[in-house]
Amino acid sequence: MGNHPLKSTLPQEIGLEKWVNQVAELTQPDQIVWCDGSAAEYQALSQKLVDRGTFIPLNPAKRPESFLARTDPADVARVEERTFICSAQQIDAGPTNNWMAPDEMKDLLLPLFAGAMRGRTMYVIPFSMGPVNSPLARFGVQITDSEYVVVNMHLMTRVDVAVFEQIRSGANWVATMHSVGAPNDNSVWPSNPEKYISHFPDTLEVWSFGSGYGGNALLGKKCMSLRIGSVLARREGWLAEHMLIMRMISPEGKKFHFSAAFPSACGKTNLAMLQPSIPGWKVETLGDDIAWIAQAPSGKLRAINPENGFFGVAPGTSVKTNPVAMELVAKQTIFTNVALTADGDVWWEGMSKEVPDGLTNWRGEPHDKNSGKPAAHPNGRFTSPARNCPTISSDWDDPEGVELDAIIFGGRRAKDVPLVTEASSWQHGVFLGATMASEQTAAAEGPVGEVRRDPFAMLPFTGYNMADYWRHWLSFAEREGVQLPKIFRVNWFLKNDEGQFVWPGFSENARVLRWIAERLDGKVEANETAIGNLPNLADLGVDELGLDDASKQQLLAWNKDAVVKDLESIQRYLGAFGERTPAELKIEAESRLASLSPMWEQSLTAAEAMVPLIGRLYRSNGVLLSVHGRTLINRTPIQLIKAMKYARHIDGEPLDIHHALSLIKLLDRMGLGPASIDVARMLAKQKSSGQQLNEFVREELRELAQMVSIITESERDVVLYGFGRIGRLVARILIAQDGDRRGLKLRAIVVRKGAEDDLTKRAGLLRRDSVHGMFEGTISINEERNSIIANGNEIRVIYSNDPATVDYESYGINDALLIDNTGIWRDEAGLSQHLKSKGISKVLLTAPGQGNLPNVVYGVNHSEITANSKIITAASCTTNAIVPVLKVLNDAFGVNHGHVETVHSFTNDQNLIDNYHKGDRRGRSAVLNMVITETGAAKAVAKALPVLAGKLTGNAIRVPTPDVSMAILNLDFARDVSREELNKVLMKAAQSPETRNQVDYVESPEVVSTDFVGSNRAGIVDGLATVGEGNHGVVYVWYDNENGYSHQVARIAEKMMLQERPSYPR
């Protein structure tokens, strides 16, 4: 309908009255009624429904002020396949929601709504979810043409003209529009075969068409309180949950508050109205379906029930299963799709053992009790006001809510999920909620009894990407001052081999809640297991229940193989959400699966056997083994197992550790020369070749075989000129590689002598580092030879003030590479002084060079280094961090121009306290201030990547952290890009053999700068921070400006001295 006002304007911006008029112009009702929520309004509309035949008044002697409604047989439950989340981007709706673009959906719905209310009345319902004066209350307005909806909204929400006043005073609100889609239809249950329940989270709107059923039509309930509510909660920092709220009171009068999530028909209402079987304990009801939860000033999480009534499943409810609910529905209740008795009362399956005679079924037909068909629809409902609940707490509608002590997740599982499990941490608890699985019920469409994952019982109700929802839950653990409730999982529905329930349930469920309360009080112990903490049976009081021993044992039993299978299923499930799946949940699955896997001990044995083989190949043959760039040198068995699992990120599955061991054993027997061999890629190539392992490896590595005797003494000498931050870290790298007889050997360091104990101090600084920790190995000194002994290797300490006059040959150093860490000389003339000293053949500067000296960023332009290269400069740490990323992006998308903003840790060039400094602003205290300063990194990019010459500007901010910096790349590309496209290319670069040592990639909402201390990559892209809109992108690159850069220096050093190992497989 073109650019209709309802499509092009926001209700909250144009105002309530104008929005109502726009809807009226579209739907063309006979009249408009602004509801006031009064008792008189409820009574008048109920009578109108009676007159039409929609309501059947029940026998006032049996059910005073109560009615029965029968829906169209095609309008009996939520229609999940017709429920849409219309976010601007499909990824924001996620894989669990149906999605359609907002404009596309409105274009589809506007013609359907056009004239849809002809012959009917439009009702404008002001409603509050939560007490109007609650800080957690949120307001909505529903337009509808259904009197059935209006009276149910009276019971389920707070319909109040005060909401109009709040909105007109500027309060935010959700605009909801509903029509049964049946103009001029005054039948008992008007509806439309074409149904859409559409949510617009970006504009806080709900449009529902064609259905009159509660969940589809009472838009304050699931639509606003959960789907739109979850979006609001994420934006505003709280939780909108499909949970009951209850209070349990001990015999001593101590109160415990629980919220609990169960899928429909899994006992949620029964639990909310629990009548404990154990003496002295009481339960009060606060809510049975929805909880809104926020952090209070105390740090604890407080919850309110935003609803005003109960909308429960009738079948299965009885005096035995839920006597409180039976008393609740004794009056002032609207029943839907249950049976009518001959004497004007209601009945449903489970209410009594005997089926009464003379029933009229939910379709309005005489019921044949021998037909095998139910008299009530399995999703038959009751709507009752909360005030009528006999166990309702006196403060159930306290605007401040209650502080939660525990959160409980449940479901309907016949086996392998114990009666109760305590999560070992908040993260584990979120994992339990995110991976909940329950047998399907009639409340949602789908095969009854089929098990489906229903995370947090929110699968049909989360208004945005489920993975982002999990991330939102996890984020609560990082909140300042937060005091999180404990998390538990329960399962009332365990069955034995005969299909009989093992646990009596109902009032006996109080025993489980008592154990939870006593755990919170520290009165009972729990047994730590791979699936969580389990109780001692005696603490549950099961001996009082008369259960046989087999049933008792089954209550807490779990089958190891079944749990492993379930965890593997969970891994696949989490993987379906792609890159947005929080890493924390993947880690939970991995760690618990690892501890349960029947192959774990065999894997550990294999890893232990690898350790000496990997070491021998490295020390004796110069063979560096890795798994997709993750080195296997100096790794523990557990770290080796993790490295094998890492392969799944690239190959889609973990690397078989036994296959890897077979390959490494074969390599150890071959007498190879120095090389870098990727175990994962070798095995993948061998698999695709179809050859046997022995045949493939000997063919692939033919040129390396039997080379040991040829190059036994091929170490190359290295001298460090200067021993500051970079010098000491490069020293650590070279020392760690020492013992590889094909590599670089650190022979000496050159410094200006300080105090008499200079040697001791130099050794001490190498041994201990405030940022990078202790040196891995042993450090001692030999004062007679003025040397440092590191891991048994002698490093001479030479004192000199003149780079041209040191006689290195006198120290046994020949044809050496000198790495200048001082930065004093940056041009060819200055650095050439080193070449005048005997024993030095090449020079590498750990700073940006000047003039025509090549600035090399390894991984980008290191091919400029040749055998004849005498002086090379390694650029700066920032240049090394950004150039590889820029090259990847330029190759993929073309960079037109951009700006680089560097947030850099302070350096020793700055003052600790305010003092004179020749540079602007650098005289101010480095540890107290952020300092804007200049950077040459943007201009230096052109030396390594000439294609970007003149396209970048840059600036820098020094911040009071000692290590790890960030570069923010604001770039305009040659074409439009999306965040997903940018991240896909960068993630691929982090996995590519050509760039994985320079570019790393991380996606975690928890990482901060200290997490990257010690990274050996030049830069690490923070994927969650990436922005892509139009042709503009913003990429955030972390980098350890000390260690990451030092590894780049070491790579260049190997290249200069022709010590690069060939990489395999080819």
62 is in an annotated binding site: no
921 is in an annotated binding site: no
Tokens in use for 802?
Answer: 């003149």
264 is in an annotated binding site: yes
Distance, CA of 422 to CA of 1050 (rounded, Å) = 49
What burial class does residue 559 get, using C-beta atoms within 10 Å of its C-beta: 0-12 exposed, 13-18 middle, 19+ buried?
Answer: exposed
506 is in an annotated binding site: yes
CA torsion angle 26 29 33 39 (round to 10) = -120
254 is in an annotated binding site: no
Alpha helices in 711-818 (DSSP H): 725-737, 758-767
Tokens in use for 1025?
Answer: 């921070």
**Cα atoms found within 13 Å of the Cα of residue 1059, Cβ hemisphere only:** 26
Q: Which helix (H) or strand (E) holds 525?
A: none
603 is in an annotated binding site: no
961 is in an annotated binding site: no
532 is in an annotated binding site: no
363 is in an annotated binding site: no
Distance, CA of 954 to CA of 932 (rounded, Å) = 12
Query: Is residue 654 classed as helix, strand or coil in its secondary structure?
Result: coil
**Helices 679-689, 657-669: inter-axial angle, 10-degree rounding:** 100
877 is in an annotated binding site: no
807 is in an annotated binding site: no
411 is in an annotated binding site: no
What one-letter code names the amino acid at 240? A
86 is in an annotated binding site: no
Is the Cβ–Cβ distance between 881 and 1018 less than 8 Å?
Answer: yes
Is the Cβ–Cβ distance between 564 and 596 less than 8 Å?
Answer: yes
214 is in an annotated binding site: yes
Q: What is the DSSP string of 668-681?
A: HHS-B-SEEEEHHH
Angstrom CA distances, 577 to 436, 450, 563, stand at 16, 22, 22
Q: Which of 35, 86, 223, 266 is catalytic?
A: 266
**Number of residues in the chain:** 1066
269 is in an annotated binding site: yes
381 is in an annotated binding site: yes
289 is in an annotated binding site: yes
974 is in an annotated binding site: no
| Beta-carbon contacts of residue 756 (< 8 Å; ≥ 6 apart) | none
179 is in an annotated binding site: no
Q: What is the DSSP string of 689-722?
A: HT--HHHHHHHHTTTTBT-TTTSSS--EEEEEE-
Distance, CA of 156 to CA of 158 (rounded, Å) = 7
Is the Cβ–Cβ distance between 59 and 333 less than 8 Å?
Answer: no
1061 is in an annotated binding site: no
Q: What is the DSSP string of 453-522?
A: E-GGG-TTT-SS-HHHHHHHHHHGGGSTT-BPPEEEEE-S--B-TTS-BSS--GGGHHHHHHHHHHHHTT
Specify whether 389 is catalytic: no
Distance, CA of 519 to CA of 185 (rounded, Å) = 58
Q: What is the DSSP string of 584-630?
A: HHHHHHHHHHHHH-TTHHHHHHHHHHHHHHHHHHHHHH-EEEEETTE
Where b means 16+ CB within 10 Å and e means fewer, 840-857 reads bbbbbbbbbbbeebbbbb
Is the Cβ–Cβ distance between 85 and 379 less than 8 Å?
Answer: no
What one-letter code names the amino acid at 568? E
Distance, CA of 56 to CA of 46 (rounded, Å) = 10
Pairing of strands 1032-1039, 1019-1022: antiparallel
Binding residues for Mn(2+): 222, 242, 289
Residues catalogued as catalytic: 266
Binding residues for GTP: 265-270, 381, 412, 506-509
Binding residues: 78, 213-215, 222, 242, 264-270, 289, 379-381, 412, 506-509
Binding residues for substrate: 78, 213-215, 264, 379-381
